[in-house]
Amino acid sequence: IAPENSDSRHISIFCSACQQTICPYHLLYHKKTHKALTLLGFDSLQSKPDNKTLLAQRQKLISKLTKIPKYSETHRQKIDYSFEFLMDNHTPTSYCDLASINNPSTFKKVSNSLIKALSICQDKNSTWQGDMEDRFIVLDNYGNRSDTCFLGLVDGSHGVTAAETVAAELPLLFLDQLAQMDSSYKKSKDEQQILDSFATVIEADYREKEKIFSDKPGNDETNKTNTYEWIHKAYAKSFWRMDRLLRLGRNEVSKVRWSGCSAVTCLVERIPKETDGTEEEERKHSENNTHSPLTRTAKGVAGLLHIANLGNAHAVLCKNGKSHCLSKEHSTSNVSERKRILQNGGNISTNEPDGLVEGYLRTTRGLGHHGDPILKRSVIPVPHTISVPIDDTCQFLILASNGLWEVLDYNEVLALTLTTFTHYLRMYECVQQNTTAPYKCQYLMPLTEDNLNHSKAINDLQDGIKILYSNKDIFLTDSKGNLKQNYTGQELLKTASPVGSKPPPQFEGDTKTHPSNCKSQTAGRGRVTSETLYDNAASYISEQLVKTALAAGSRDNITILIVLLNGC
């Protein structure tokens, strides 16, 4: 599809608070209105009150505030700011084109049978940022294994050095850990040579501390059932070593405080077929692997995603039209992270909205940030890891930097992705039918209570699996930055389909409007005649997400890596 066939004025966003369709350029003002109404004590879903009502409510709140013994001038300012914002007559333009992207999307060809297409789109957001500090990782045939790939996104902070180093060396460190436990992962001679050069940095005393990853005794039941624990430990150990290498300060410019980064990575691997499919062999195989979680998966589970993240870079999976956040927010907005920092002797400033660690950094976990021992005492390199199965109901996997998540939440990104994908299929249909323009209507994905409740959505993720393995913390550090023996191991998240849950929403007009040559390549669903359909769709979606983030008021670098899975 040619880019000029796109008609971006038909792309709208669902506000996850009020479920109204909003133009991207109006989203920032729309969300501020919700926040201001809530702070002044109004229902955020109601229409904006008249000026007389606003004035009366402001006077009422200030009167109550002045009677409180501990009078807060900061809260008084919030009331005034909200009042002034609502009183101002904002008249946004009715329509304007989405901003142009400095760097068009990059298509990456991977041979993994679980992935139909993969695209990356970036923009440094030149209005607010001078340099592009994000980096991405796409490695096909990872570890010389077919149908295994390693994806990653690194969100740099206060310089690009740490992000560049992590993007280049973290995949090698992780592969080294995997190869020690699984002989099917192979390292090339060049990779081994680079790893050998790190031996002088990872000294004996440092290796002694690393024993926590393997020597910590676990619960017998956990050892029997947790097949993916070794992958989670490999993630934790590789992140730990990566942070040690960043302590060398290679290519750093500042002599006071070095750069750092957030990161989200994903190991995509296909589950091999271990039986020929006969009932007798399947029964014997099941009896011999009663403790393996793979025996508890429903038929059709094709692969696994092993996710690790720290900081504010996130991964979201779209399954059956629902958003499932596979990462964890490590910032001062996280209550548990704030508690950890304060208990270890750290400080969090009073900056709005949630404060800064030591008055400098919003993220509470990350790689790098060396040179300031006080800051590094609180900012730890401990990833959150999780393993989930994927099947033909999984549609999209999105890895994105903070530039996207600071203006759009998971549900809004999901709705926009589904909307854009549907819009693209309609444009493809128009081109196939030699029409001159796409349909003049909005293609929107309705949000229901099922896919709005993303905080609990992870509990619905395994329709075909009963147990998924997650790890909250591999280790914590004490107030001096040293490892503490409080490894929590892996957490078993037992899930079940909710009783009486509604069926997941599907694409609008899915069975009537989509032509046969736009259907999925999965069995029984027809076949796509154009090999580039999904490649172009992935590029189109990633570009639209970046444009929407820019229009919605993002002030950070934006990088989006989108993977089209077999369910789309």
Alpha helix ranges (H) inside 210-275: 212-215, 220-225, 229-246
Q: What is the pLDDT of residue 103?
A: 63
**What are the extents of the domains in the chain?**
13-87
pLDDT tens digit string along 201-242? 887 667 777 766 655 444 444 443 468 899 999 999 999 999
What does the alpha-carbon distance between residue 262 and residue 379 come to, in Å, rounded to a whole number?
Answer: 11
What does the alpha-carbon distance between residue 443 and residue 421 come to, in Å, rounded to a whole number?
Answer: 9
What are the distances in angstroms from CA 399 to CA 89, 139, 303, 459, 563?
Answer: 37, 15, 18, 20, 9
Report mean pLDDT in 10-residue bins for the chain, 568 residues: 45 74 77 83 76 88 84 81 80 49 72 92 92 95 94 95 96 96 93 91 73 54 62 94 93 88 96 55 40 43 93 95 94 94 92 86 95 91 95 94 93 90 84 54 40 43 39 42 38 31 34 35 41 87 92 92 92
pTM beyond 0.85: the answer is: no
In 3D space, the residue among 509, 494, 392 whose CA is nearest the CA of residue 442 turns out to be 509
Q: What is the pLDDT of residue 266?
A: 98
What are the distances in angstroms from CA 220 to CA 224, 227, 552?
Answer: 6, 13, 50
Phi, psi of 205 (to 5 degrees): -65, -30
**How many CA atoms within 13 Å lie on the side-chain side of 456?**
8
Q: What is the pLDDT of residue 499?
A: 33
What does the alpha-carbon distance between residue 317 and residue 395 come to, in Å, rounded to a whole number?
Answer: 8
Q: What is the pLDDT of residue 10?
A: 56
pLDDT tens digit string along 486-525? 333 333 232 223 333 333 333 333 333 333 333 333 333 4
